Structure 1
Amino acid sequence: MARRLRPVGLDFIEHAPTRLAFTARAAAAPDAVYRALADEVTGWPAWFRAVTLARPTGGGAGREIRLVGGVRFQETVVASDPGLRYAYRVDETNAPGMSALVEEWLLAPGPDAAGTLVRWTFAADGPAPVRLALAAARPGLGRSFRTAVRALDTRLAARTAP
């Protein structure tokens, strides 16, 4: 059964009780990474293994996401800054326990303006058992993120290969 989460804004990322942040480097330029995140939502399952379905809703103002294992999210896009940032809030989910969740993808040119530094922040609130479970899941979430960025980078490189 779907549950409504507390509607929070971007400021929640800074003061959420649980903040998990991960960084990876992609060879692709920030604009290409941004397009894959924000404009090509339906392509997420091709590079983010945990995602089984991704589709825009509300003319791009929201997203429907399904994960391996059956977890579902209805989201609202809260920031869409081309080449810089893409963030969304979970409004409804069938995952137990969480009361608020925002994810943010920050993009910055890599060292010497080569490639992109990608920072993913997972900001959540919920009762103590949820916070403990998220802390325990940190290594797995980090691996999943880094694997996804590598797969995305490979996908983007294949597009530009002769």
Structure 2
Amino acid sequence: MAARIFGLLALLIVGAAAVIALVEILPLRRDIAARETNLGAREAKLKQPPPPSPDEAVAPGNAEQRYFVFLHSLQAIAAKNGISIPQISYQRAAPDKDSSLRRYVVETTFASPHLQLRGFIRDLRTLPGVRCERLTVSRPNIGATQVEVRLQCSFLVEAAR
């Protein structure tokens, strides 16, 4: 008699678990999958990655347009490496009368872990027309994980005469 009661109780517990699975778990999985798909589609619409290099600016690109693409690429490279650049100063260098090249100088200061800084500089050097002219790295104390960085680089672009 006790075996029948325990068997019936076990059957009721298994039945209740099956009902819970059908009513709660399976619809929840479908809902999560639908939301992930919707979120992925919305994310794809929002992300418009910058061109990988200033040389791939949409034609006909003048020097200023290519320079702004470079600035966008600089910020994208920093974000990719987990670096936030809160301040950038940039200016056009004095033009050389005999040259069709325009030179823009970019200076920035930021704090970053050393490993992320190395990745940022490595990726920055792959941009055509970019030259890192001055890089100053300092650490406030030996136990600090962040380094203070001051970077000056120039961007050269050929301008139409």
TM-score (norm 1): 0.29
**Could you say which structure has the greater relative contact order, defined with CA pairs below 8 angstroms and 6 or more residues apart?**
1
Higher helix share: 2
TM-score (norm 2): 0.29
Higher strand share: 1
